[in-house]
Amino acid sequence: MKAIYAFGLLILLAFLGSRLIVRRKTLSPLHFIFLSGLLYIFLGLYLGKHGLNILSPQVLDALTPLISLGLGWIGFLFGFQFEAKYLRRFSKKSFALSLLQSTFVFFLVFAVLFIVVRKLYPGQPHHLLYGMALSFGLLATVNSPTLLNAASFALPSRGEYSYLARFLTSVSGFWGIMGLAVLFSFWHFPFFDSQIILVGSVLLLVSTVVPIMLGYLFYLSTKKKTPEQDVLVYLLGFVFFVSGAAFYFNMSPLYVSMVMGITFSNLTRIHEKLYPLLLAAEKPLYIVFLILIGALWEFKFDLTIALLILAFLGSRALGYVSPLTSFRFLLRFPFPLPLLFGFSFLSFGGIGVAFAVSLKLTYQTDLMEIFLSIALISIIVSDFFSPWLLKVSLVKLESEERS
């Protein structure tokens, strides 16, 4: 009964909150944190066992499937943007820059965090420390275009820097989620099991092929003229089924739903009509998801966690800023890529939260509890400062581009 009461409260909060998340002609840290919805994490923390205990551990156990469904919905929306018609607008050099940037950031953060966690947690098994460092490396590759969309009115012009930044922030998460799928397939309990290569390859293949088939099946079932509202209802059912099955079989709901989103996006002819409905449905589901994440969060903060946050954010910022000049020379990019341009990619957004929670739900270890605390605090801190960093980077660069 308490779970039903809590679920009703979540629906009410989602209804009210979705009407409070509105865009304003301002760009400030406080406004963006509110717009991004990250404040609902703190509301969930207050409703959880650290506060009112409405979302108690027992209630959360009953509502855990909702988190999986939220992951699936975020993954589907993320994949739905990868329409071939849209991607063809960008050059091969832009795709290469995205891959180079994500790869460099991943290896830099992984190396730095592995050294740090090995020093701070010397008693932990090495394979767990490797897993934690891998998790940080993959999370670092994810950034969100939400800030750029919210700040579009503040940009002097939609020039080359803005155009490229929107593309890179949209695509970068793809590489991170691909890495997440590989990690889920090959790195599972018991570690280093026999035939790990075979088992991992089969899991990765199944988690890729099945959502493609389901995406095609959904397209066939809605190929005849169907009201967009009905398509949305059917789509929710498909996404929930896929994400629930992925969660049950220890696969990534983010990845399988992303693949299904990519498949359906490139088959459907009602992309422009359906996308506004998807965004409208996203707000309440996203709010419920963030509140549940906050209630699930075992909040921890001490000197060790503070050091790890500094190491993570510092190495991530360095990874996005420092190699741009070298990448431009290597790819013979048509215009300069100054260091300031790297500050455009420091916002994690909701996809970063979903990414971190996916790892925590899959790997139930003490280190993953610590990882989630570091990840959520880092995401909130980074998204708080991102509007300011965007102002001193992209806005300044576009002003110089015009002059």
Task: Give the least confident one: 45-49, 82-86, 106-110, 271-275.
Answer: 271-275
Residue 48 CA, chain-centre distance (Å), reads 23
Predicted pLDDT at 36: 73
Residue 395 has pLDDT above 90, yes or no: no
**Residue 68 and residue 100: Cα distance in Å, rounded?**
31
Torsional sign, CA 53, 355, 32, 380: positive
Residue 40 has pLDDT above 70, yes or no: yes
**Residue 11 and residue 284: Cα distance in Å, rounded?**
8
Residue 76 has pLDDT above 80, yes or no: yes
Predicted pLDDT at 104: 95
Predicted pLDDT at 26: 61
Within 8 A by CB and 6+ apart from 315, the residues are 108, 109, 112, 113, 140
Predicted pLDDT at 13: 58
Mean of pLDDT values over 296-321: 92
Predicted pLDDT at 193: 60
Work out the number of other CB atoms within 10 angstroms of the CB of residue 377.
Answer: 20
Burial group, residue 127, by CB count within 10 angstroms (0-12, 13-18, 19+): exposed
Asked whether 252 and 176 are in contact (CB, 8 A), the reply is: no
Residue 58 CA, chain-centre distance (Å), reads 27
Asked whether 235 and 341 are in contact (CB, 8 A), the reply is: no
**Residue 54 and residue 303: Cα distance in Å, rounded?**
30
Task: Give the least confident one: 218-227, 230-239, 271-280, 327-336.
Answer: 271-280
**Residue 156 and residue 400: Cα distance in Å, rounded?**
10
DSSP 207-229: HHHHHHHHHHHHHHHT-S---HH
Note the maximum CA span of the chain: 64
pLDDT digits (tens, 9 = 90+) for 156-204: 556 778 888 888 888 888 899 999 888 888 876 555 566 777 878 888 8
Domain containing 276: what range? 2-402
**Residue 256 and residue 73: Cα distance in Å, rounded?**
11
**Residue 221 and residue 210: Cα distance in Å, rounded?**
16
What CATH number is associated with residue 139? Answer: 1.20.1530
Which tokens sit at 387? 């509007």
Mean of pLDDT values over 71-75: 88
Instruction: Tokens 């880092």: give the residue.
Output: 378
Q: Which of 377, 378, 296 is nearest to 47 (CA)?
A: 296
Structural domains counted in the chain: 1
Asked whether 351 and 142 are in contact (CB, 8 A), the reply is: yes
Mean of pLDDT values over 227-246: 80
Within 8 A by CB and 6+ apart from 91, the residues are none
Q: Mapping DSSP to helix (H, G, I), strand (E, B) and coil, where does residue 49 land?
A: coil
